[in-house]
Structure 1
């Protein structure tokens, strides 16, 4: 492919060779947000367009709000890697991937500038409108690949997107001392927690054992929905926030 017209107004185009046809579906029904985790945006853009990297994304958003489109939305970009949501493992085929320039946790993780978030929000609004993507399917890379990925991380301002009608969010329950579930616990309460996480979409086995995978998934949930404390412990704040999310979905579906 030599080029294409951008699907987001004002976006620049730099074609990545790292893409293919979508499988099983011709239309995306999910947005996955990432951070680049590299020292510079230019370096990330070059890597995403390098055939040797075998990675890409539909969009890249710089700190100043500049947007670069590298893969057409109709095509399958290679951004999610090994991942799952509601048991589906080919996330690349059902999603639009957006890389957000930020050095990430290993290179000096920092707050996302306002202009960058405004650009990400505008981009997401357009994609949601084109494909009627449900609010609860605007996700973090860490949601679909818990443990393996932690981006865009706990500093990402999901509230700003939600205020513009993008994504699913409820007020996080206050953190208080009290009973909690943690690694090594077993029983019906653990099974109930795992069931709620799976019902929301996370890949977790419903075993009644608070194993390492459960701890990882709880951390991923906290990183998106209860960002103040990410520790893998299912305290009452974490459980209540999860219950509120599920209740809001049920209420929305009943309308």
Structure 2
């Protein structure tokens, strides 16, 4: 195995990979946290054939970068996940695991040196692969009902400032109309439509149920991290509008009207 990036400090080949599906571009960069006590423990687990999981890269707390799977191969890191209505995210993506013990074990801040290494590696990967800014994603974006990583402490704005990813300054939290579990109707349908247009896997049925709550929470973790509660408040909705306006206007009158509000 030869490292794909000149930034790689160490190679630890994993047996947990396969071939990518034919005809699918590698056009997603997917960011995770390891959810393990140390980077070494995570690397050992991701390289262990018994785990049946892997990732292309692990970035340790000190910024050290270890590669486990070649970028040409399909690592097993995304699980059951979707984006833009497409499954098999493993075939479409390159995955970076960021050493952090996660929400269930204290969820510490990400060190500056680690984030700088993630930015450098991510920019290098995106320079060599057809990955647009809006497809630099969190694990929680593609699997909102299962995953929370890398979570609300991850500095997405800092990445975007360095040219990695799509981000807008979140709208301040304030009063105003909001949607939550139990709400239904055309405004909820419009919210679901815009979230789905952006990429989130969500049925557009006009009912604010558990699935919609989970998607809203995933959106908040990435784009409005000050409060992650799954309630579509005015700040969350306004931030979503701004993201939509920064890309091609959404198809469909309802979503387009929502983006102009």
The TM-score range, normalised by the shorter chain, is over 0.9
Structure 2 residue 190 is matched with structure 1 residue 225:
no
Question: What residue is the counterpart of 1:199 in the other structure?
Answer: 197
What root-mean-square deviation, in Å, do the aligned CA atoms of Structure 1 and Structure 2 show? 0.9
Question: What residue is the counterpart of 2:3 in the other structure?
Answer: 6
- 1:50 offset after TM fit, Å? 0.4
Number of equivalences: 248
Matching residue within 236, 239, 251 for 2:237: 239
Flag structure 2 segments of 5+ consecutive residues without an equivalent.
250-261
CA contact (8 A) 1:170 1:244 kept: yes
- 1:26 offset after TM fit, Å? 5.6
* CA distance 1:86–1:26, shift in 2 (3 Å): closer
Question: What residue is the counterpart of 2:27 in the other structure?
Answer: 29
Question: What residue is the counterpart of 2:109 in the other structure?
Answer: 111
- 1:9 offset after TM fit, Å? 1.1
Q: Aligned partners of 1:61 and 1:239: how far apart in 2?
A: 33
CA contact (8 A) 1:26 1:74 kept: no
Q: Aligned partners of 2:90 and 2:55: how far apart in 1?
A: 10
Q: How does 1:1-255 map to 2 (within 5 A)?
A: 4-11=1-8, 12-25=10-23, 27-250=25-248
- 1:178 offset after TM fit, Å? 1.6
Normalized against structure 2, the TM-score is what? 0.93
Q: Aligned partners of 2:61 and 2:157: how far apart in 1?
A: 18
Q: Aligned partners of 1:124 and 1:74: how far apart in 2?
A: 16
SS of 1:172's equivalent? Answer: coil
Q: Aligned partners of 1:199 and 1:26: how far apart in 2?
A: 20
After TM superposition, the runs of 4+ consecutive aligned structure 1 residues lying more than 3 A away are 24-27
